[in-house]
Amino acid sequence: MTKVWRAWRALTFLLVLFILGCAREPLISQESFVFGTRVEVLVYGAPPDTARSAATAVLREFDRLHRTYHAWQPSELTTLNDALAAGKPAEVSSELASLIRNAQQIAARSNYLFDPGIGRLISLWGFQNDEFKAQPPDAAQLQIWRDAHPSLADLRVDGNRVVSRNKMVALDFGGYLKGIALDRGAAILKSHGVENALINIGGNIIALGSKGGKPWRVAIQHPRSTAPLATLDLRDGEAIGTSGDYQRYFELDGKRYCHLLDPRTAEPVQGTQAVTILIPPGVEAGMRSDALSKPLFVAGAAWREQAQRLNDTQALRVDTAGTVYVTPALRERLKFETPDLHVVTMP
């Protein structure tokens, strides 16, 4: 059993534990394994046939997104990456063109600490695999990447035509697509008449309505324990996302190398164990909960300035010492479950 699977199994168990509680009303649950993690759709209070049909439609869309935009198995995304590497323009679907334009806007706002254009770097570090070796990249290849410094900013999208001024750009939507899926899933549920539901994609969660008039209660994973760090009641339309160094990583000579890479250094981020953000209801709440946690993680000790830049008012960071830094707006919503935590509320 891989470290990734063990981590997600523990996380899913915690989420189910807190979400289900002792529910006495009809609660329909359907699961799948998509985006490299366990996905669960919970529907409360709807007729069973309606709930199952809606949940099935959600999981079907997730599978389509996963296959269409897979970063290393043949997909529309890999076809585009091949064209960019050859220095050729490419005609893409309207959906993919829209995803790129949207990601470019977020990347620019984050000073490119969030940058889905670093797919080649992710591959160099071995994280574009279901299993990865405890082995750093070849130093010469890593320096070539640094010298080229590919970025999403190198792409130009005219209609559905994509061109790049840098052949080293390769797209990887791993830190972005789960959030897109959350928003799609919420829209699908609503189109089926579902008013109360929870979608969980490996810890990226969006809530609809409530569970019998009570908020959906979820757990935030402790980055170094199977116990929860904290619990939180999600309100209608809210989304929460966590980026952590415990999901995909390898260890070498006592040092942890996680899949979250700093585009400025071409190295795995050090100094942060986890970042969690809570996004209020609104357009693209799911996408923002996924994408905006990444630049805060990469920013490290400067996470608060990055959060202010992105207007993330509800966020927390766990540093390598295990100290929890949290914004006042999120602190008042959390119930910390781990004893003896050192919690610092930021101004």
Q: What is the CATH number of domain 3-68+176-345?
A: 3.10.520.10
pLDDT at 19 over 80: no
User: Closest by alpha carbon to 238, among 326, 313, 336, 327?
Assistant: 313
Which residue intervals of the chain bear CATH 3.10.520.10? 3-68+176-345
Assigned CATH class of 76-164: mainly alpha
Confidence of residue 14 (pLDDT cuts 50, 70, 90): very low
Over residues 158-188, the pLDDT tens digits come to 999 999 999 999 999 999 999 999 999 999 9
Q: Which helix (H) or strand (E) covers residue 207, if one does?
A: strand 204-208
Map residue 177 onto helix, strand or coil: helix
Confidence at residue 187, expressed as pLDDT on a 0 to 100 scale: 98
Confidence at residue 15, expressed as pLDDT on a 0 to 100 scale: 52
Beta strand pairing call for 37-44 and 90-91: unpaired
Dihedral sign (CA 225, 227, 231, 235): positive
Confidence at residue 131, expressed as pLDDT on a 0 to 100 scale: 84
Which residue intervals of the chain bear CATH 1.10.3980.10? 76-164
Mean pLDDT score of the chain = 93
Beta strand pairing call for 334-336 and 155-158: unpaired
Average pLDDT (218-242) is 96
- Cβ contacts of 251 within 8 Å, gap of 6 or more: 134, 257
Query: DSSP code of 222?
Result: P
Average pLDDT (335-339) is 93
Confidence at residue 91, expressed as pLDDT on a 0 to 100 scale: 98
Which contacts qualify for 88-94: CB closer than 8 Å, 24 or more apart? Answer: 89/161, 89/162, 89/163, 90/161, 90/162, 90/163, 91/160, 91/161, 91/162, 92/160, 92/161, 92/162, 93/160, 94/160
Q: Which residue has the higher pLDDT, 227 or 140?
A: 140
